[in-house]
């Protein structure tokens, strides 16, 4: 039997700060300009989606990804553009809707949003939110965002922002809601929330066996049924790096990955990285999609099948990689990984 499922393939960046070939960090401004070039190039090489994840740090200077997406939108015609993720808990859902509805207008209907509760929590103190409230913040704001997406006047009341009474929120979309997802990092209660509110499920997998998320896809589909909703898609997001050979990809990625995980380990509770763990994570069982086009394509196809997912977004880059390395990654991903993964999925 031929698999008629349509698969799509995206690229995500967190605005990872670039370095030059000698290892000297580029400016934040140059990194952002490079991200715009990378987004334009992603379309040329064949990617279906380009996403920018909100971050507020020295290593990831990308708090306003929607502005960069608008620049990419003006220079592209086909690729979908979205957040990956928007930290909704510390943002205003009305503003988020307005920014992405504007992006949707500029791009001729190519905007998407992935909403996150925020595992990267730098935005909370920055905008004056209390981390202890993150569950209520996210739940209320995601509920309001679902209302805003429907279009038409919104009536809403909650504790985390001013209520709305029959409020028209502009700009209106031309053809209904744009695609919206909830990013989930391992909490089954978040899976239920995505289904309840009618968002797609974005599984953010950054370590360990991705296969452990398979029950979440099943949980999502069953929960959609329970809430009387039509089926919605499942997306897998995972980090990686593509180069000509497995050895080259690992050699480029490892020192940058080691440095950033070591930096984040104390705050995020990550174990300090070891080469043996890295070898496992980049192998067939792990969550890092690092290798040659063939290796990465095989791993993507296998994981999409296991998870019942129809979209894969590769989070490319790491702080300290060069723009040229990232452009090579994008080229190999678009021109080689995507067609090969599609072929494997069609043949299965």
Partner 1 sequence: MRYQQRQRERLGILGSGHIGPVVARLALSAGYPVDIAASGDPDDIALITELVIPGARPRWASDAAADADIVILAMPLHRFLDLDPGPLGGKLVIDAMNYWPASDGVLTVFEQGGSSEIVAQRLAGSSVVKALNHIGYHELEEQARPAGAPDRKAAAVAGDDRAAVDATARLIDRIGYDPARVGSLAAGRILQPGGPVFGITLGLPEFGQAVHEGARSLP
Separation of alpha carbons 275 and 254, rounded Å:
8
Q: Which stretch binds partner 1 (CB under 8 A): 15-23, 212-220, 289-297, 306-314?
A: 212-220
Q: Compose the 92-131 pattern: x for residues touching partner 1 by CB under 8 A, - for all others.
A: -----------------------------x--x-----xx
Q: Is 133 in the site for partner 1 (CB under 8 A)?
A: yes
Q: Is 150 in the site for partner 1 (CB under 8 A)?
A: no
Q: Which stretch binds partner 1 (CB under 8 A): 14-22, 103-111, 169-177, 265-273?
A: 265-273
Residue with Cβ nearer partner 1 (136 or 310): 136
Separation of alpha carbons 324 and 152, rounded Å:
45
CA atoms within 13 A on the CB side of 73: 24
Question: What residues form DSSP beta bridges with 240?
Answer: 289, 316
Give the position of tokens 């296991």. 306
Q: How far is the CB of 279 from partner 1 (least distance, A)?
A: 15
Separation of alpha carbons 128 and 122, rounded Å:
11
Q: Is 192 in the site for partner 1 (CB under 8 A)?
A: yes
H or E element in which residue 69 lies: helix 65-74
Which of 236, 131, 124 lies closest to 185 in space, CA to CA?
236
Which of 299, 305, 270, 304 lies closest to 285 in space, CA to CA?
299
Residue with Cβ nearer partner 1 (48 or 91): 91
Separation of alpha carbons 253 and 206, rounded Å:
14
Q: Is 199 in the site for partner 1 (CB under 8 A)?
A: no
The helix/strand/coil state of 309 is coil
Residue with Cβ nearer partner 1 (228 or 266): 266
Residue with Cβ nearer partner 1 (114 or 261): 261
Q: Is 272 in the site for partner 1 (CB under 8 A)?
A: yes
Residues that bind partner 1 (CB under 8 A): 121, 124, 130-135, 186-189, 191-192, 207-209, 212, 215-216, 218-219, 222-223, 226, 265-272
């Amino acid at each position: 039997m031929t698999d008629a499922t349509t698969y799509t393939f995206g690229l995500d960046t967190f605005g990872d700060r670039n370095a030059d070939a000698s290892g000297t960090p580029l400016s934040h401004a140059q990194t952002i300009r490079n991200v715009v070039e990378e987004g334009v190039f992603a379309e040329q090489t064949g990617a279906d989606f380009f996403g920018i994840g909100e971050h507020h740090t020295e290593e990831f200077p990308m708090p306003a990804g929607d502005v960069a997406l608008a620049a990419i939108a003006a220079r592209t015609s086909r690729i979908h553009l979205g957040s990956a993720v928007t930290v909704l808990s510390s943002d205003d859902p009305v503003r988020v809707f307005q920014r992405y509805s504007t992006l949707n207008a500029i791009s001729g209907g190519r905007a998407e949003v992935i909403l996150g509760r925020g595992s990267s929590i730098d935005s909370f103190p920055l905008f004056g939110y209390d981390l202890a409230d993150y569950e209520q913040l996210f739940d209320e704001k995601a509920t309001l965002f679902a209302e805003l997406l429907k279009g038409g006047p919104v009536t809403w009341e909650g504790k985390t922002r001013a209520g709305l009474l029959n409020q028209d929120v502009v700009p209106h979309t031309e053809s209904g809601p744009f695609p919206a997802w909830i990013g989930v990092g391992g909490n089954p209660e978040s899976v239920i929330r995505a289904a309840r509110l009618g968002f797609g499920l974005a599984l953010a997998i950054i370590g360990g066996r991705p296969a452990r998320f398979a029950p979440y896809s099943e949980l999502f589909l069953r929960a959609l049924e329970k809430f009387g909703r039509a089926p919605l898609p499942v997306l897998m997001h995972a980090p990686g790096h593509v180069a000509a050979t497995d050895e080259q990809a690992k050699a480029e990625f490892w020192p940058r990955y080691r440095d950033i995980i070591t930096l984040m380990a104390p705050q995020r509770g990550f174990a300090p990285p070891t080469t043996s763990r890295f070898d496992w994570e980049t192998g067939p069982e792990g969550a890092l999609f690092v290798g040659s086009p063939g290796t990465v394509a095989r791993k993507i196809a296998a994981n999409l099948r296991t998870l019942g997912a129809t979209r894969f977004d590769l989070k490319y880059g790491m702080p300290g990689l060069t723009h040229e390395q990232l452009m090579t990654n994008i080229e190999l991903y678009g021109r080689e990984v995507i067609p090969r993964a599609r072929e494997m999925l069609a043949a299965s």
